[in-house]
Structure 1
Amino acid sequence: MYIANGCVYCHSQQPRAKAFAPDFSRGWGRATVAGDYAYDQPHLLGTMRTGPDLMNIGVRQPSEQWQLGHLYQPRAYMPGSIMPSYPFLFETRERAEKGDVVVSLPPGQAPAGQVVVARPQAMDLVKYLQSLDRSYPAIAVPAVKP
């Protein structure tokens, strides 16, 4: 879902070192090292950063409801955001059914008389975002001498 919805085009997953960018002071986490990506398939470093770095979004913003609401209507959570909304990841209904994940939106954001329900694809994307946590210490690996 992260790749299919184009998240990788605007969000990197590589906080920079303190000397190169204010990522650490923004709360985006420590600078990443090669070992952080050892088990990623495919690697989702990103090529540019239009939106915030997401390497540690699971720590910075762990709330499932916040993530769902932000995907449904980003500007309700981050005024001035240029992130597109992803309404196709949700359904609007007159009432929720058993097992539905109803999105709690800020006042005035839900369609009148409707509830917003997360589709499985929205839940998959949120679970992935919640899993992004590189807050553990980086392991220093000595360089191999030729």
Structure 2
Amino acid sequence: MDIQAETLITLVQERPVLWDKTEDVYKDKNLKLAAWREVCLILKPNFDELDEKERKQYGKQVSTKWNNIRDSWLKTVKKQKDESKSGSSTKNTRNYLYHEQLMFLKKVSEPRPPHESVSKKARTETEVGMESDFRSPLIKDKKN
């Protein structure tokens, strides 16, 4: 198995269905399979001539290689971000080997804004409901 990382990165970048979670097509499994098949055909021109087991095995190797590349880049970026937050100047993590080529992933690697937790929201609604019960004109004082 000799899959060139630079070529694989370029092929994946050209197919947003494989990486861009913001696109509607990202959710379409058939389009993803077709895109991975295209990538495999480019990386291994005789891909269609392989038997089904060999095709599946090669496809798995290609997607695993991609996942390893992407995950290594994400890990490095996160480590650099953590270092800059802590202000530690003693140890600077170098950029990942394919850092510049993988910058297209920045679009989908940014952390999501934090959402209010469901339990906190439920607790707040309950507390507000209890407060309104105490102020409700329907609640009569038992002294009357």
Higher strand share: 1
Task: Please tell me whether Structure 1 or Structure 2 has the larger radius of gyration of its CA atoms.
Answer: 2
Structure with higher RCO (Cα < 8 A, 6+ apart)? 1
Of Structure 1 and Structure 2, the greater helix share is in 2
TM-score (norm 2): 0.29
